[in-house]
Amino acid sequence: MGLSRREFIKRTAALTAASYAGLSLPISNEDYSAHASDADSWHKGTCRLCGSGCRLELEVKNGKAVALRGIPQSRTNMGYLCMKGMLFYKLMGNNHPERLKKPLYRARKDQPFREISWDRALDIASKEFAKTVKKYGNNSVAYYGSGQAFTEETYIFQKVMRGGLKTNNVEGNPRLCMASAVGGYVTSFGADEPIGSYSNFERASCFFIIGSNTAEAHPVLFRRIMRRKMDNKDTVKVINADPRVSPTSRIADLHLQFAPGTDLALLNAMAYVILEDKLYNEDFLKNYADFRMGKKKKKVSLQKYMAFIKDYTPEKVARICGGNITADKIRKAALWFAKSEGTMSLWTMGINQRSRGVWANNLIHNLHILTGQLCRPGADSFSLTGQPNACGGVREGGGLCHILPAHRLVKKNKLRHQVERLWGIPEGRIPPKPGYHTMAMFEAVNEGKIKAIWINCTSPAQSLPNCDKYRKGMRREDVFIVVSDIFPTKTTELANLILPTAFIFEKTGVYGCTERRSQLTVKAVNAPGEAKPEVWMVREWALRLSKELNDPVIKKCVEPFMGKEPDYELPKAIWEEYTQKLTKGRDNDLSGATYEVLEKLPDGVQWPAPTKQWALKGGTDIKFVRGLDPLADKYAKNDLPYQFYGPAHPDRKLWIWLRPQKGPAEMPDSKYPFYLSTGRIIDHWHTSSMTGRIIELMRANPYAYVEVNPKDAERLGIKPGDMIEVVSRRGRNILPAKVYVGPCEGMVFVYWHDEDENRMINRVTKDAFDPGSKEPEFKICACRIKRVSGPRPLKPFLVHMKA
């Protein structure tokens, strides 16, 4: 029997007093320990707090979540967890008093919320959406989801929106983090998602880490890279390319610190060295590669590519890049990259969140194609994902405005009609035009074109760039906003209807992590109060919508799921439809990965997994390799060992792209002389609505800082802890300074998790976005900084529900 926290404190008080007096008391605090030996049960699941897909076990005692530990047999984390993974049980069930427990409603946003029943909440949600559709048309409603929702949740939301409400206004926060990686994979390799797996960490001899602070953003994956490096100090090289020196740099042999926005030039210069020194792999190029350029994807020759790359001599590029970059460093990096037994590139938001993020992705892939550093052990061009289910749920499940489930493009008639057939709804039901992408969606909210929006499991009011601009639209009284979440956030502040949802381990569903791996978490504890799984909400909402709009097709969308118990049977039925019907025969074939199979494995299944037998082995470790990937054998067109059968490249080639250097949308100038970049810190995740509520994590990083290079700090008279005003053309923050050889000179860096209005850096960032991927350029804008005072005592801040 566990002690309550209050009981624990009182016992501690008594024990401490007794020890002063030298007294023995007949009590102890041992049963407060989370790991006491009389465990009731341990339940397998996936970590909630990044995209690594660490597998863990939750200990449940008397219905209460009490501890988490890693699963040693898991191929993702091998038993290791970071502090977030160790502690997030503190948010489950009744462990946290602030969990949302009842539906809350207000007709107007200037009114206080009132508790209402689920019946009434679902009535309101369906009436408002139905009314809006009738009055303003199908494209006046929208769903904005999350890379943290289960695949089953994203899938059923988008099914009801597209098949039921006849709109492709289906988006999600992965647009803000992964869209450029999707664009890069599809245009370079013809298929989304990485070719290889984490298993390459133990086989790589060179790591090229660019635009990723892996040590803090993916600490458990970083452990594997660190181990590989430390066990092979002389033979394994680590190159870290980043405008900011970060904890990741600690294991680097070579640090390339370039000025923000000069990444494309740097990558082209590495290609220059590879060509000039004949470090490319001629056979690989001949068999598998093509050269392409421009919007029309024009095919060009190697000679043309060589002529293009001539402009990027290391000497010239070193001048463009600034920072610590020299021609020698570029040459050394290119040499290590090309010559190693297996080179693995790793990147995340530093590359993706650029106004030319797709191009930056292409240029990394170029280096791998040129040198043939693909498909063989340790060789991989591997984008790391930030959210637990951005890949599985949103990229694969059809969670963006232009894609349907299983990598089908909305605009392809054949594929769209295929989905309509599989759903058993009339042809032409899904509109042929993609919906609004995220930035356009919130612009449409601003303009009053979207009148009703359901935001699930994410907080755009804080996470959109230049968020004040979009909060204005969300405050409009003529825009009806539903927010489903577990805690109050900056976005629930702007809602009309708040629906309390079950957290992970309080419901059942699948997360698909970075390495194409789908992993199941089965419900182990009860959700607090009246919190419910989203899949139940959507089903019930759809049934009511069907009545309100007198449209039986909406009901048809959820018919296969009627009468199912919501904690396990319902998500299982959704997963079955998605995998058995929608993914079958596609490149992300998951038809072998049934709940039964997933429950048997310590971790999960990597697609393609077309059969149960294959899935039970864990699925496909490396795509496109005959003998390793069943689809490579099935779709083989010749005797070559690699078969690039991806749906986007009918020529089955990898494409090397001619992409010129292009700077950020906003460059520093005399008025705003600094680069501003943003990022994460290990203890917090995203908008900190979860990690901020775990006291250990909150204390470790109670508020956001602005990191200032010591040289800039000296010039501006800034001392550690001084309060600094950071101002851009969009907005301002006032934050404490960390004077630190992190960012390069002329650049400041701010953590983005803080919910305090003064420290919410997305009020300052710019909402420019990549014309291809539509992913915003969070990572670079121009700002000015000024010391406003000495250190001030600060308080951590979280949004609370007003009583």
The token duo for 73 is 């047999």
Question: Out of 13, 107, 307, 667, which residue is the one contacting other proteins (CB under 8 A)?
Answer: 13
Select from 7-15, 266-274, 609-617, 684-692 the region that touches other proteins (CB under 8 A): 7-15
The tokens describing 433, both together, are 């035009």
Taking CB under 8 A as the rule, which mask of x and - marks residues 744-783 in contact with other proteins? ----------------------------------------
Residue with Cβ nearer other proteins (64 or 223): 223
Tokens of 133: 């559709």
DSSP 421-488: HHHT--TT-S-SS----HHHHHHHHHTTS--EEEEES--HHHHSTTHHHHHHHHT-TTSEEEEEESS-
**Two tokens, residue 738:** 């960390």
Instruction: Return the range that interacts with other proteins (CB under 8 A); candidates 16-24, 187-195, 561-569, 624-632.
Output: 16-24
Amino acid at 440: A
How far is Cα 523 from Cα 537, in angstroms, rounded to an integer? Answer: 17
Q: How far is the CB of 62 from other proteins (least distance, A)?
A: 18
What is the SS3 assignment for 399-411? Answer: CCCCEECCCEECC
* 74 close to 113: Cβ distance less than 8 angstroms: no
Amino acid symbol at 246: S
Q: Are 496 and 107 in contact (CB under 8 A)?
A: yes
Q: How far is the CB of 413 from other proteins (least distance, A)?
A: 50
As given in the structure block, the two tokens for residue 793 are 């005592």
Q: How far apart are CA 557 and CA 167, in angstroms?
A: 14
Structural tokens at position 510 = 């699948």
Instruction: Return phi, psi of residue 91, to 5°.
Output: -100, -5
193-to-188, 357, 383, 517, 590 alpha-carbon distances in Å: 11, 15, 8, 11, 15
Give the strand order in the sheet containing 289-293: 298-300, 289-293, 654-657
Contact flag: residue 226 with other proteins (CB under 8 A): yes
Binding of other proteins by 801 (CB under 8 A)? no
Site for other proteins in 160-219 (CB under 8 A): 215-216, 219
Q: Is 186:496 a contact under the CB 8 Å cutoff?
A: no
Minimum separation from the CB atom of position 88 to other proteins (A): 12
Question: Per CB under 8 A, which region of 30-38, 294-302, 380-388, 747-755 contacts other proteins?
Answer: 30-38
233 in contact with other proteins (CB under 8 A) = no
Cα angle, residue 174 at apex, residues 170 and 176 outer, rounded to 5°: 105
Quick one: how many helices (H) and strands (E) in the chain? 27, 29
Environment class of 339 (CB within 10 Å of its CB; exposed 0-12, middle 13-18, buried 19+) = middle
Pick between residue 141 and residue 226 the one whose CB is nearest to other proteins. 226
Under rule CB under 8 A, how many of the chain's residues touch other proteins?
Answer: 64
Query: Cα–Cα distance between 502 and 490 in angstroms, integer?
Result: 19
Q: Residue 186 or 226: which CB sits closer to other proteins?
A: 226
Report, in Å, the least distance between residue 488 CB and other proteins: 12
Asked if 29 interacts with other proteins (CB under 8 A), we say yes
**CB closer to other proteins out of 52 and 140:** 52
Stretch that binds other proteins, among 11-19, 557-565, 614-622, 768-776 (CB under 8 A): 11-19
Which lies closer to other proteins via its Cβ, residue 231 or residue 427?
231
Q: Does residue 34 belong to the site contacting other proteins (CB under 8 A)?
A: yes
Q: Does 23 interact with other proteins (rule: CB under 8 A)? A: yes
Residue of the chain from 64, 106, 250, 555 that contacts other proteins (CB under 8 A): 250
Q: Is residue 654 a contact partner of residue 188, using CB atoms and an 8 Å limit?
A: yes
Encoded one letter per residue, x for contact with other proteins by CB under 8 A and - for no contact, window 691-730 reads: ----xx-xxxxx----------------------------
CB nearer other proteins, residue 24 or residue 670: 24
Tell me the angle at which helices 263-276 and 302-309 cross, rounded to the nearest 10 degrees: 120
For other proteins, which is the closer residue by CB, 683 or 770? 683
Task: State which residue, 48 or 774, has the beta carbon closest to other proteins.
Answer: 48
Nearer to other proteins, 26 or 627 (CB): 26
Contact residues for 404 (Cβ-Cβ < 8 A; gap 6+)? 158, 162, 398, 410, 415, 416, 419, 430
CB closer to other proteins out of 73 and 111:
73
Minimum CB distance to other proteins smaller for 6 or for 286: 6
By beta-carbon proximity to other proteins, the closer residue of 19 and 324 is 19
3-state secondary structure labels for all residues of 282-308? HHHHHHHEEEEECCCCEEECHHHHHHH
Which DSSP state fits 300?
A: E
Q: Does 682 bind other proteins (CB under 8 A)?
A: yes
Choose the binding region for other proteins from 285-293, 337-345, 585-593, 791-799 (rule: CB under 8 A): 791-799
Closer of 14 and 306 to other proteins (Cβ): 14
In three-state secondary structure terms, 578 is helix
Provide, rounded to whole angstroms, the least separation between the CB of residue 683 and other proteins.
Answer: 8
Query: Is 21 an interacting residue with respect to other proteins (CB under 8 A)?
Result: yes
* Per-residue binding letters, 51-90, with other proteins (x by CB under 8 A): ----------------xxxxxx------xxxxx--x----
Q: Does 223 bind other proteins (CB under 8 A)?
A: yes
Binding flag, residue 12, other proteins (CB under 8 A): yes
Element (H, E) at 725: strand 723-727
Q: Write the DSSP string, 327-345.
A: HHHHHHHHHHHHHSSSEEE
- Rounded to a whole number of angstroms, the minimum distance from the CB of residue 796 to other proteins is 7
23 versus 667: smaller Cβ distance to other proteins: 23
Shortest separation between residue 710's beta carbon and other proteins, angstroms: 18
Q: Which stretch binds other proteins (CB under 8 A): 26-34, 271-279, 430-438, 572-580?
A: 26-34
What CA–CA distances, in Å, run from 31 to 27, 35, 66, 213, 552? 10, 9, 11, 39, 56
Residue 112 near other proteins by CB under 8 A? no
The only residue of 2, 3, 14, 628 in contact with other proteins, by rule CB under 8 A: 14
Residues in the chain: 803
Binding window for other proteins (CB under 8 A); candidates: 24-32, 575-583, 656-664, 774-782: 24-32
| Binder among 1, 4, 6, 283 for other proteins (CB under 8 A) | 6
* Comparison of 70 and 772: residue with beta carbon closer to other proteins: 70
**Burial profile 728-749: b = 16 or more Cβ within 10 angstroms, e = fewer:** bebbebbbbbbbbebbbbbbbb
Options 2, 3, 31, 33; binder of other proteins; rule CB under 8 A: 33
Return the residue of 2, 8, 409, 476 that touches other proteins, per CB under 8 A: 8
Beta bridge partners of 776: 769
- How many other CB atoms sit within 10 Å of the CB of residue 576? 15
The answer to whether the peptide bond before residue 608 is cis (omega within 30 degrees of 0) is yes
Which residues bind to other proteins, rule: CB under 8 A?
6, 8-10, 12-29, 32-35, 67-72, 79-83, 86, 215-216, 219, 222-223, 226-227, 230, 247, 250-251, 682-683, 695-696, 698-702, 793-797, 800
